Amino acid sequence: MVAMMNFAPTTEDYGLLAMPLAAAAQAYERLFAAADQSLTRQNIEGKPSALFHALEPLTMALDRTMLIAHGPTWTSYFANGLLGSDAVLPVSRIAAMNGCTGLRICRSSKATLLEVYESPERGGDGLNLRRTIYAAQDGKWTFGNSGTPYPFESTEQYTEKRIKDRFTPKHLDAMLDGLGAPVTPLPPLDQHNAVLFVQDGAKASRLTLYSYAQVQAKEPWKRN
């Protein structure tokens, strides 16, 4: 299977929805219909590398979204942002509107993060946030968590002396397992069913566009 690191930052910061691909795609369309935004849809099947390249170019406009089946009951959410998939708003809203669990997962050298989204009726707050746990580096390492811990959650490590160790990829995997969620961005298959959504390109046309290679080389942040 293709290495997920080849498609960072998309695969380092992504979303999951506890619903089948067809239902997730319909929910995404309804979300944009309510916002009165132009959106085209393409059902596709292919290897992971082909699917992720279909998200290029990467841009701050976040105008391309890919939903990929992750087994029969989960859907992975990816978008073409320069910093990752920026799944917070769409995934949290879809989860709340459809009475299911939504997740944001970040797994990189500078951050390990989990956000769980639920409607207020299912335990979320006014922003549909049920639980947040993170250890992240932005100049220095910081740790935080909010929301009520889950019964299966081990909280002992949150007091580790080294802040980076308070929430690690291993702990993230344990949380995902406890939630019944996949621990990888995609299942280990050669072919995947997916839906690609593309928004009206007017906004992106005014911004610089980048390939994965350019973003990984930090070109968007280099001074001329």
| 123-158 confidence digits (pLDDT tens) | 999 999 999 999 999 899 999 999 999 999 999 999
Return d(Cα 51, Cα 187) in angstroms, integer. Answer: 14
> What is the number of other CB atoms lying within 10 angstroms of the CB of residue 170?
11
Reported as a pLDDT band with limits 50, 70 and 90, residue 200 is confident
Angle between helices 88-98 and 21-34 (to 10 degrees): 110
Reported as a pLDDT band with limits 50, 70 and 90, residue 4 is confident
Q: What is the pLDDT of residues 61-83, one digit of tens each?
A: 999 999 999 999 999 999 999 99
DSSP summary character for residue 122: G
Q: How would you classify the pairing of strands 64-70 and 111-117?
A: unpaired
Residue 13: strand, helix, or coil? strand
Return d(Cα 221, Cα 206) in angstroms, integer. Answer: 17
CA dist 9 → 19, 30, 83, 132, 220 (Å): 24, 27, 6, 20, 13
pTM for the predicted model, two decimal places: 0.95
- What does the block give as tokens for 126? 């006014």
DSSP summary character for residue 58: B
Reported as a pLDDT band with limits 50, 70 and 90, residue 201 is low
Q: What is the pLDDT of residues 10-59, one digit of tens each?
A: 999 999 999 999 999 999 999 988 666 789 999 999 999 999 999 999 99
Q: What is the mean pLDDT of the chain?
A: 94
The identity of residue 211, as a single letter, is S
Reported as a pLDDT band with limits 50, 70 and 90, residue 87 is very high
Mean pLDDT (whole number) for 87-107: 98
Domain boundaries, the chain: 4-214
Return d(Cα 76, Cα 20) in angstroms, integer. Answer: 10
pLDDT score at 1 = 46
- Looking at the DSSP bridge assignments, the partners of residue 39 are 199
Return d(Cα 219, Cα 43) in angstroms, integer. Answer: 32
